[in-house]
Chain A
Amino acid sequence: MISTHSRLGDDTVVIANSKILEVARFLKEDPELAFDLMIDLTAVDHWKNKPRFEVVMHLQSLEKNHRLRVKVPVEGSDPTIETVSSVWPAANWYEREVYDMFGIVFKGHPDLRRILMYPEFEGHPLRKDYPITKRQPLVGPKD
């Protein structure tokens, strides 16, 4: 754990990249916490800052009715992080989306493909260095 805060009423915890899987298992299985519902997993590109990316998860416990935001800093030079899809299957598609949009690679993900963009798409559109005016029309399938 790197730091915690609860600004604006959202409890937040920042976790080191290497420990995420361990922490995720603990968050789900500990009876006091019991975060069984993964609400959201996304990423933020802090362009020109270090570390560049941040993977953000929002968790909810159905039984205890509390929420937690988990943030994991990810280096821009080697954007990899371990997958949590074995803990919450919901993360499967969310991680595919983050990979598609930010190019963050989830190690051990069962099916890491693009989800919203087409397979021939080059680049990752939600990165801040991807210009909004750039066009990549898909004329036809290549094979």
Chain B
Amino acid sequence: MLLNMGPSHPAMHGVIRIKVIADGEMVKDCDIDIGFLHRGFEKHCETGTYTQCFPYTDRLNYVSPLINNFGFAMTVEKLMGLKVPERCEYIRVIMSELSRISDHLTCVGASAMELGAFTVFLYMIKAREWIWELVEEVTGARLTTSYARVGGVKGDLPSDFDGKCRSVLKQTAEVLDEIDTLVKRNRIFYDRLRDVGIVSKELAASYGMTGPFLRSTGVEYDVRKATPYHVYDRIDFDIPVGRRGDNYDRYLVRMEEMRQSIRIVEQALDQIPEGPTNVDAEGKIIPPNVMADLGKFGKTAGLLKNEVLIEPTLEGTQKRFHDRVRADSKEAWIPPKEQVYSNIEALMNHFKIIMLGHGVRPPKGEAYGAVEGGNGELGFYIVSDGTDRAWRVRCRPPCFPIMGGLHEILVGDQIADIIATFGSVNMIAGELDR
């Protein structure tokens, strides 16, 4: 019997169609049809400037957009040979790990809900909400963060971030313990996941699967350890691995990874350096138009000691935070607003980055940069021809190879197991179809 699951099926996390040839309840063969959410990410990136690509990267894996932002920024920095300040590296680690927690919370919560454990879903979404509120305070947005810039991040962390973050992590750890008591030894949950959707080490590697999927089979491959980026080499954390490679192992791996992420964020918060602060004690906070007028009339004496009043979404970008979070390079560096409004050099520099035909210009060449995304290795391969637009941007989505090998995993299981196995893939249509 031919059975169509999707393109819109309540248990499908995005739009995807699985054509199943079933014999009774057994899956005999299946064909996976993707591409329903294709938006032309790679084509768009070729037509926009490098900075304009960041909003597109938000929409790749939309439950952990920050990791995508940083992955893209890191690759362009590699191409340009830029070094970002230490504080910025720590901010990127902290925000990436918060994103990873929210990604795994969504995945485990949603797949538990599909198996009937609705409470787990509600608890996990509650925890995700705390994390997203934290993300909102830092980036100004919950989902479409666009927080990274080439050579840094948009703005510094808010002053009360440390305490808030620690309390959120503590609460999240409590939720994780609660979830474990709810489902870890739950008969129904265990029976539906244990020995279902088994992936062998060889199968996972041959299909190019990475992330929790590969780790559940016992392979200790994590981009954060294999090729450490940012400051992951200074942080002590473990890579959880499974043994059998079934859905239950993937659940355990994800739960443990969240605990490790909490550990990473706590260490990063301890280690994060303050960085330089450009502060002038007598400075006043004045609106931008006043500052621009004073500059135009030549009243520039002492003007730079003032701070410009900026809108709340740009908080953390003022001059006194600027050197902490931006690389010291004129090629990719927008000067702080105070300088733009008050001197011509900074205004020209601003113009050179922002205006059409100027912009960030990496030298001719190619680079591949990889970060550990929520589902595995998220890679960007950028070919530059020396202009302000990339010649080719390729995103290596972690879901894509997993979905490419999914038919091998589903065949031989029952139809009801498709939901459990597919839930453990954590397919995100945004990054799968780009």
Contact = CB atoms under 8 A, between A and B. Distances in A.
Contacts of B405: 89-90
B78 A8 contact: yes
A60 B79 CA distance: 20
A8 to B, nearest CB: 5
Contact of A62 (B43, B205, B366): B205
B226 interface: yes
Given A8-B365, A116-B38, A132-B47, A42 B404 contact: no
B34 interface: yes
Interface in A110-132: 114-118, 125-126, 132
A69 B367 CA distance: 10
Nearest to B400: A93
A15 interface: no
Contacts of B394: 40, 42, 56
B47 A10 contact: no
Interface stretch (A16-24, A31-39, A72-80): A31-39
Nearest to A118: B35
A65 interface: yes
Contact of A90 (B40, B206, B383, B434): B206
* Interface size class of chain B, counting residues whose CB lies under 8 Å from the partner chain: 35 or more
Q: Chain B at the A interface: mostly helix, strand, loop or mixed?
A: mixed
A56 B403 CA distance: 21
B377 interface: yes
B42 interface: yes
A115 B208 contact: no
A105 to B, nearest CB: 19
B85 interface: no
A63 to B, nearest CB: 10
B404 A92 contact: yes
B381 A40 contact: yes
Contacts of B366: 7-8, 10
A68 to B, nearest CB: 11
A125 B38 CA distance: 12
Nearest to A10: B368
Q: Chain A at the B interface: mostly helix, strand, loop or mixed?
A: mixed
Contacts of B40: 125, 132
Given A40-B394, A44-B391, A132-B43, A90 B368 contact: no
A55 B138 CA distance: 40
Nearest to A38: B208
Interface string A33-58: 00011111010110000000000101
Contacts of B226: 60, 65
A44 B404 contact: no
Contacts of B81: 8
Interface in B66-89: 78-79, 81
Interface in B382-434: 383, 391-392, 394, 396, 400-401, 403-405, 433-434
B79 A8 contact: yes
A67 B226 CA distance: 10
A88 B383 CA distance: 25
Nearest to B35: A116
Given A7-B366, A39-B377, A92-B404, 18 more contacts: A9-B78, A39-B396, A40-B208, A40-B381, A42-B396, A67-B227, A89-B207, A90-B207, A93-B404, A94-B400, A94-B404, A101-B42, A114-B35, A117-B38, A125-B43, A126-B43, A132-B43, A132-B47
23 contacts: A8-B365, A10-B366, A10-B367, A36-B206, A38-B208, A39-B208, A39-B370, A39-B396, A40-B379, A40-B381, A42-B381, A58-B381, A88-B206, A89-B206, A90-B401, A94-B404, A116-B38, A116-B433, A117-B35, A118-B35, A126-B42, A132-B43, A132-B47
Interface of B: 34-35, 38, 40, 42-44, 47, 78-79, 81, 205-208, 210, 219, 221, 226-227, 365-368, 370, 377, 379, 381, 383, 391-392, 394, 396, 400-401, 403-405, 433-434
